[in-house]
Amino acid sequence: MRKSMLLAMLLLAVSAVPAFAGIEGVAGAKFDAPNLVRFNQDWTLGVEASKDLYNILPNDNSAWFEDDKGYSGYVKITYTGTWFGNK
């Protein structure tokens, strides 16, 4: 029973892996400042910003640098406490 369950899990994992014909990737930079404003011991307000710098696209003959695309920014609230268990 245990071997058949392990085999079924292995087959499921292998069948879930997609096959890609090319390589796709993005490299970039990220700025993260999660604790700019502290409301109390567990809650803070912060920001995060990122920029994609270098892309490799599948089925394309060139890798390219971006200068006007790929920006993202977030205002975020961070909770550092615990929900379950002892502190």
- 79 SS3 class: strand
Q: Does 2 reside within a domain?
A: no
Q: Does 59 reside within a domain?
A: yes
Q: Does 47 reside within a domain?
A: yes
Range of the domain at 72: 24-87
- 56 vs 53, higher pLDDT: 53
- Contact in structure between 27 and 46 (CB atoms under 8 Å): no
Q: Does 29 reside within a domain?
A: yes
Q: Read off the pLDDT of each residue in 23-47 and give the average, rounded to a whole number.
A: 88
- Is pLDDT above 80 for 84? yes
Q: Does 1 reside within a domain?
A: no
pLDDT for position 58: 61
Q: Does 6 reside within a domain?
A: no
Domain tally, the chain: 1
- Is pLDDT above 80 for 79? yes
Q: Does 9 reside within a domain?
A: no
Q: Does 4 reside within a domain?
A: no
